[in-house]
Structure 1
Amino acid sequence: MDREVAMGFSGLGAGLRVVVTGGGRGFGRALAVSLGREGAEVFVSARRFAAAEETAQAVRRVGGRAHAFECDLADPVSVREFAEALGEAADAVDVLVNNGAPYLDAGGFLEATDEQVTEVIAAGAAGTVLVTKAVLPLLLRSARPDIVTMVSGCGEYGNHRSDAHEAFYAAKSAQAGFAEVLSKRLRPSGVRVISLYPPDFEDADPLGPGWDEARGTGEALGARSVVDCVRFAIGQPRDCFIKSFYFEQA
């Protein structure tokens, strides 16, 4: 039996309205294209509109519906404008994927500039909170609202294995704490808050010829497997709430 049919993934995205922040490249782009291929209507944001539009075009090429938006998560005004534009494009959304958060590896704690530290924490921590706050009214109009946050292993207590800068660790720890309390407070409203804590993982092109087999080599985690985790979690019946995904790191 086909793996995706066996796991209940076939046609998962059909009819879903999914918002993906940080969707201009990397995992956000891969997830947007994957869900769009299955029939989801995808709303992609990126700091640069051109990057968001490039992903939107990729979604359209695989048969999905897509909309592109500019959103700088470090700028509260940009976040508000994104939410307003999103509200004009859709009267409700089903899934918000908090994926946008700039990575920082400046070669050492003291080597990062104050501006880099501020931007990373502002976008990853405050930006995630502000986007969720702004999009929540649209989610509450859905019969199946999910909030998915790509926290990363850097937000897992005691994790020290990534080469990421300490400011990135700070932003991801803030995301983890936010998701934890949000899950408790939104659950009575029927909103599932799902967090993923993957280690640094291999990326893959969702439009490449090897995407169907694009999983990690050896023991290294691959982007396709992380995409499958998101699809599995949001595809579960409403009485099944997979709160968190934790991964062993090789």
Structure 2
Amino acid sequence: MFGVNVVITGGGRGFGRTIARRFAAQGATIVVTARDLAAAQRTGDLLPGAHALRCDLTDPASVRRCAEQAEELLGHVDVLVNNGAAFLAESQADDESIVRTILSGAAGTVLVTENFLPLLRRSERADVVTIVSLEAESRSDPAHIAHAAFHTAKAGQARYAEIMSQRLRPEGIRMIALYPPDFDNDDNAPRDGVLTAQSVADCVLFAVNQPRDCFIRSFHFEPLS
């Protein structure tokens, strides 16, 4: 993937850091974004030639500025990974956190994709990857600790990815959504039968490396139990 430009939201830790490292290992140029610039920089420091940018998914001005900075750095974007989204446990919910959760997951995914589309349209191999969740589906675990606002945000991401997959396909831009159950988000978690960030990253890399006439719209994972 030498010469491929990749932008990853929520790249300061967990899966965002894992997928950034995997793309970088294949020779891609990485832009890592996070609401906390220091967190993005910590990931960027691990990767040769990577860039770190601040991007608050709940703030349209911040998203626009991030896209402008990415344009200055890269000129175009080949792969956009919509990974950033706030998690909210039932026990942690208040009015402000509910709004932030829905904004960062649903509205944030829409804002980032829309603002980066001009840069993706300059690519000959544009892919948008959205990390949704099994919790967006009706078969999600009713005993899951997530607040309903998190499920709502993930459902919004899923529906947006479905609509945009249809609308962008004539342009050759692929929208790829992943629906994993909870997985071990530790960047160095061993593969011992439990779904890991590394395994989810393998699915992303498999999809974006397919020939351009292969449109994989989604990966639906089975629950682990």
Counterpart in the other structure of 1:186: 168
Structure 1 residue 204 displacement after superposition: 2.8
- C-alpha offsets along residues 151-200 of structure 1, whole Å, 9 cap, x if unaligned? 01111233235321111000000000000000000000000000000000
Counterpart in the other structure of 1:3: none
Which stretch shifts more, 172-181 or 149-158? 149-158
Structure 1 residue 203 displacement after superposition: 2.0
Q: Does 1:92 align with 2:76?
A: yes
What code does the residue aligned with 1:49 have?
Answer: L
Contact 2:90 2:145 survives alignment (8 Å): no
What code does the residue aligned with 1:72 have?
Answer: D
SS at match of 2:46: helix
Counterparts of 1:164-243 in structure 2, within 5 Å, are: 164-205=146-187, 208=188, 214-215=190-191, 217-218=192-193, 220-243=194-217
Counterpart in the other structure of 1:72: 56
Counterparts of 1:108-147 in structure 2, within 5 Å, are: 112-147=93-128
Structure 1 residue 138 displacement after superposition: 0.3
Q: Structure 1 residue runs of 4+, over 6 Å off?
A: none
SS at match of 2:129: strand
Which structure 1 segments of 5+ residues have no match? 1-12
Structure 1 residue 39 displacement after superposition: 0.6
- C-alpha offsets along residues 33-85 of structure 1, whole Å, 9 cap, x if unaligned? 1111221000110001100011011112xxxx211000110111111111111
Structural RMSD (CA): 1.2
> Could you tell me how far apart the structure 1 residues matched to 2:106 and 2:94 are?
18
> Could you tell me how far apart the structure 2 residues matched to 1:126 and 1:46 are?
16
> Could you tell me how far apart the structure 2 residues matched to 1:35 and 1:14 are?
10
Counterpart in the other structure of 1:52: 40
- C-alpha offsets along residues 116-145 of structure 1, whole Å, 9 cap, x if unaligned? 000000111111101000000000000000
Which structure 2 segments of 5+ residues have no match? none
* Aligned residues with identical type, % of pairs: 53
Count of matched residue positions in the alignment of Structure 1 and Structure 2? 223
Which stretch shifts more, 81-90 or 17-26? 81-90
SS at match of 1:238: coil
SS at match of 2:32: strand
With the length of structure 2 as denominator, give the TM-score of the two structures.
Answer: 0.95
